[in-house]
């Protein structure tokens, strides 16, 4: 038994290091998957799925480590159990969302639950690491065996098997005709593409649908010519049409024809401008690069119908190739600004 102890310790260390690395990749690619809206970002979503399968593959080894920890009776062991349960629930929500076999749970879309559970994991995972300073120092201190040929081969084999499993899962979904085979590359499922009125009314975090008296509503435009205000009558004469996909981070997408006024028709070019600031009556805002200007639309209608109140009436931004949180609803201000587009939180905070 004495000769086997080093092997057991190395196995536990390798498992913990591999799981920590896999979880970090899962979180990083998960953030990227939420942010991406164009086909160029497909690889991020694929990497997220492969990393999740690596986590699943490590569960049998990690369960051995967990059982030993529970036998030691540490005071915080039940918080660790909760962390394990949350990891399992997050993985399960992601898998059922990907297959499309379970679209919602308790009225919440499975992908939304997957993201919410993942966010709940973050503080628990940080606690799990910080509450074990001695083990964390040992884990972070490099050892010769961490980059040995055996370790590299084992890691490569694990990633290779997870990649094969990912491809086989996608093939199985297509062969069986499961709903997940028709999901968008972002993981979102088609919803209300035949009826725009059926699109869910969603907002980012704490936004609420406002009541807007259209006769008093004004759109403030700030550009190189200064500041001016436009009423709804100044916009309804435009009928530029763009067919594009609204892809919500909560797990659904809808493709429709949006019509209204191009943003480029309202703002005068400004050589010093580096971003377009778009503001909502709710206080919500985003900055977009000026390079996007020609593709942006202030929509007053969708599929030939006036926007519904919950969908952004009287005016919402249409930003092709970007996720739904860029599509500002209830727009009341657009402004060319010298501030770069990257000077904002990676995701809106309100």
Q: pLDDT band at 134, cuts 50/70/90?
A: very low
* Cis peptide bond prior to 314, omega within 30° of 0: yes
> Residue 76's pLDDT band (boundaries 50, 70, 90)?
low
Decide: 47 and 25 in contact? Cβ < 8 Å. Answer: yes
Round to whole Å and give the CA distance between 65 and 149.
24
Place of tokens 């394990």: 84
> pLDDT value at position 52?
96
Instruction: Evaluate if residue 2 carries a pLDDT over 60.
Output: no
Report whether 334 contacts 221 (CB < 8 A): yes
What percent of the chain stands above pLDDT 70?
Answer: 89
Q: Which of 278, 306, 276 is nearest to 291 (CA)?
A: 276
Q: What is the pLDDT of residue 9?
A: 40
Q: Which residues have a Cβ under 8 Å from the Cβ of 240 and sit 6 or more positions away?
A: 259, 260, 261, 262, 265, 297
Task: Give me the mean pLDDT over the 118-147 stretch.
Answer: 68
State the pLDDT confidence band at 309, using cuts at 50, 70 and 90.
very high
Question: Whole-angstrom Cα distance, residue 154 to residue 140?
Answer: 19
* 252 alpha-carbon distance from chain centroid: 12
If you average pLDDT over each of 50-64, 75-89, 121-135, which comes out highest?
50-64
Which CATH entry fits the domain spanning 191-337: 3.90.420.10, 3.30.300.30, 3.40.50.300, 1.10.1760.20? Answer: 3.90.420.10
What does the alpha-carbon distance between residue 220 and residue 229 come to, in Å, rounded to a whole number?
5
Which whole number is the average pLDDT over 14-19? 81
- CA 181 from centre of chain: 20
* Helix residue spans in the chain (DSSP H): 5-35, 42-72, 77-99, 110-130, 133-140, 149-176
- pTM for the model: 0.85
* pLDDT recorded at residue 73: 61
As a whole number, mean pLDDT of residues 226-239 equals: 94
Between 327 and 14, whose confidence is greater? 327
């Amino acid at each position: 038994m004495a000769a086997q102890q080093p092997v057991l310790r190395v196995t536990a260390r390798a498992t913990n290091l591999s799981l920590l690395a896999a979880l970090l990749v899962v979180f990083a690619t998960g953030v990227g998957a939420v942010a991406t809206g164009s086909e160029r970002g497909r690889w991020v979503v694929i990497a997220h799925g492969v990393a999740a399968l690596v986590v699943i593959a490590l569960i049998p080894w990690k369960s051995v480590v967990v059982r030993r920890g529970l036998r030691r009776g540490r005071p915080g062991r039940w918080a660790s159990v909760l962390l394990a349960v949350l990891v399992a629930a997050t993985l399960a929500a992601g898998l059922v969302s990907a297959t499309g076999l379970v679209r919602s749970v308790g009225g919440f879309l499975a992908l939304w639950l997957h993201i919410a559970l993942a966010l709940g994991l973050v503080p628990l995972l940080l606690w799990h690491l910080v509450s074990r300073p001695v083990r964390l120092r040992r884990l972070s201190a490099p050892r010769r065996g961490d980059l040995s040929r055996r370790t590299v081969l084992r890691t490569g084999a694990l990633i290779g098997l997870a990649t094969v499993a990912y491809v086989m899962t996608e093939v199985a979904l297509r062969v069986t005709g499961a709903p997940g085979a028709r999901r968008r590359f972002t993981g979102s499922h088609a919803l209300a593409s035949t009826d725009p009125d059926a699109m869910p009314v969603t907002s980012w975090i704490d936004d609420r649908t406002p009541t807007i008296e259209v006769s008093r509503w004004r759109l403030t435009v700030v550009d190189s010519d200064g500041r001016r205000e436009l009423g709804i009558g100044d916009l309804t004469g435009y009928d530029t049409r763009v067919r594009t996909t609204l892809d919500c981070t909560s797990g659904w997408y809808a493709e429709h024809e949006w019509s209204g006024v191009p943003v480029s028709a309202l703002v005068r070019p400004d050589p010093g401008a580096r971003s377009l600031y778009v503001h909502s009556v709710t206080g919500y805002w985003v900055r977009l690069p000026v390079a996007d200007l020609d593709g942006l639309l202030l929509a007053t209608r969708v599929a030939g119908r006036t926007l519904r109140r919950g969908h952004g009436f009287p005016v919402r931004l249409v930003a092709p190739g970007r996720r739904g949180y860029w599509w500002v609803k209830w727009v009341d201000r657009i402004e060319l600004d010298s501030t770069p587009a990257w000077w904002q939180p990676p995701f809106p905070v309100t």
